[in-house]
Amino acid sequence: MFIWQDEPRRKARIEIIPMIDVMMFLLVFFVLISMNVIPARGIKTELPGSDQAERLDKVHHAVITIGKDGSLQLDGKDYDLSTLAQGLENMRREHKDADLVIDGDRGSELQNLVDVMDVVKVAGITAVSIVAKKK
């Protein structure tokens, strides 16, 4: 009589190499985001250059972004000039000590900056920084 022998069962293994690949990808992604190599802004802007540009150190900044086409965003949310004042008031209620930073595209018209500065002044904000990259 012939008896079949059972093959020894292989132990289940956890394949760790694909998991390491995924973890390394996530690590690189978060490092690039934290170093601002990958910008996390809504409107893509090309910053003007300045010889006197300084690094901003404050933790919370409210950022008004002025696009090349004149579009406006406050902290990533779309606004127009008529609704920007309300957005600034909401921002001041939430973060009383927040600095206001204007991030404008170098190709944007100067009139757009002046209009935004008028709205900011009417909202009662006197300390404003303009973002520029060092030449």
Q: What is the pLDDT along the chain (135 residues), one digit of tens a residue?
A: 667 777 777 888 888 999 999 999 999 998 887 776 655 556 677 777 777 777 766 666 788 889 888 889 888 888 988 899 889 888 888 877 777 888 888 888 888 889 999 998 888 888 888 888 777
Cα separation, 119 vs 83, whole angstroms: 10
Domain extents in the chain:
49-134
User: Per CATH, the architecture of 49-134 is what?
Assistant: 2-Layer Sandwich (3.30)
DSSP 3-state assignment of 102? strand
Supply the DSSP string of 38-82, one letter for each residue: S---SS---PPEETT------S-EEEEEE-TTS-EEETTEEE-HH
Bridge partner residues of 72 (DSSP): 66, 79
State residue 25's pLDDT score. Answer: 95
CA distance 111 to 117: 10
What's the pLDDT score for residue 105? 86
Those residues with Cβ within 8 angstroms of residue 132's Cβ, 6 or more apart along the chain or in another chain: 47, 48, 49, 50, 53
Four-CA torsion 35, 39, 41, 46, nearest 10 degrees: 120
Please report the pLDDT score of residue 91 as a whole number: 84
**Other C-beta atoms within 10 Å of 129: how many?**
15
pTM (two decimals): 0.61
